[in-house]
Structure 1
Amino acid sequence: MTPMPDLAPASRRMAALLANVPDHRLTAPTPCADTSLGALLDHVNGLTLAFTWAATKNFPDGGSQPPSADASNLPPDWRARMPERLDALAAAWRSPDAWQGMTKAGGVDLPGADAGNVAMNELVVHGWDIARATGQPYEVGEEEIDSCLAFVAPAVEQSDGKGIPGLFGPAADVPADATALDRLIALTGRTPTWTPPA
């Protein structure tokens, strides 16, 4: 059996990034087209909960809905609540049972192992988005990138690199000597050299 990747490093990194997001940056742009930093944080807050439910296979009444991306939905106590949710997410995916059988995330049925890799990808790629939008350094472990690519690479191949509506845009070009992280970011339709507008 393939070893289960550990979501804890990506969860902790995300929490550290959030701790350094100043309030005045919440309206700032991100590498996600037409998505402010506040809207992206709302999305991360929702997906953290959705993928914790996916791991435990314990869903609220009404099931798991796709996470929103609306800054007005960001709870006032997000600075305290989101790190706690990220810890719970990482803990839930430490259970071997999380990676077995079928589950749901955002209203979609998928195998547990796939859901775990999608959760990792959400943490790693949106962590990069937040780091870029706020000018914070960002480094990712090889195991995390491998887990992300297990989800992203086949999805991009199936779309012929043209992008998948609601997931990511057309794959961007990168130089031959691009880092593994830059390659992953480019596959998700982002420009690895993106910086906030002056």
Structure 2
Amino acid sequence: MDVRDLDRRAIEATGRIVDTLTDEQLAAPTPCPRWRVRDVVAHMTDNKRRLLTALTGSAPEPGDDVRADFRIAATALTAAFTEDSLLTASYELLGIEYNAAVALFVHFADTLVHGWDIGTAIGQDVRLSEDLVQAALKGISRWPDDGTIWGKDGLFGEKLPVAEDATPQEKLLATTGRSPQWTPASTS
């Protein structure tokens, strides 16, 4: 499957959750330690802006509403990647040169998992699309376990243990440092 389609679908799914957020929900705790919902949405938007700036030289300026900023940056990123040549552009990630398709895959996985984070933070029972989960797991499993990808300074949180019979979604969440059983009440 084309990474652009994966990314677009993750943006759509997460965007549907972002679009429903109330001002009060923006202050809710999330499975991401030290981050509130507002911080997670801002993080996703900043990732879009950094990717756009690195690959196209410009990105939408931030506004006063993280929800609107998310949509504006997502629209710009999706539009930029309609150009096939952008996929092969050089992009530095954690000090290593990759092509932009790799960066877009990381963006896809990050957006997908953060959709679960914010939805769960506001009390939704988020069921990620099975094919998106499988694609994210397959791609993430290719990354080396050398301390650069997972952990405090990595792209994803420290991997958590997960049962052999866990669902693919539970495996993805644990692989990216999230307890599949996390609830807002578990932060109290």
The answer, yes or no, to whether TM exceeds 0.5 is yes
Aligned partner of 2:164 among 176, 179, 186: 176
CA distance in 2, matches of 1:38, 1:160: 26
Is 1:145 aligned to residue 143 of structure 2? no
Q: What CA deviation, in whole Å up to 9, does each residue of 1:31-81 have, x standing for no partner? A: 001111122221112112223345xx2124xxx9xxxxxxxxx84233333
Identity of aligned residues (%): 28
The alignment status of 1:97 with 2:95, answered yes or no, reads no
Residue matched to 1:67: none
- Aligned 8 A contact 1:172 1:189 in 2: yes
The aligned residue for residue 110 of structure 2 is 122
Match of 2:178 in 1: 190
Q: Corresponding residue for 1:50? A: 50
Contact 1:162 1:171 in 2 (8 A): yes
Give the gaps of 5 or more residues in structure 2.
none
**What's the CA shift string for 1:100-153, capped at 9, x where partnerless?**
141246886422221111110111011111111111232333443344335522
Supply the distance in 1 between the matched residues of 2:150 and 2:89 (Cα, whole angstroms).
30
Contact 2:159 2:177 in 1 (8 A): yes
Q: Which amino acid aligns with 1:58?
A: T
Match of 1:59 in 2: 57
Give 3-state SS (helix, strand or coil) of 2:142's partner. helix
Deviation at 1:195, TM superposition (A): 0.4
Instruction: Calculate the TM-score normalised by the size of structure 1.
Output: 0.77
**1:70 maps to what in 2?**
none
Structure 1: runs of 5 or more not aligned = 65-73
Which amino acid letter does the alignment assign opposite residue 24 of structure 1?
A: E
Corresponding letter in the other structure for 1:59: G
Instruction: Work out whether residues 18 and 67 of structure 2, in 8 Å CA contact, stay in contact via their aligned partners in 1.
Output: yes
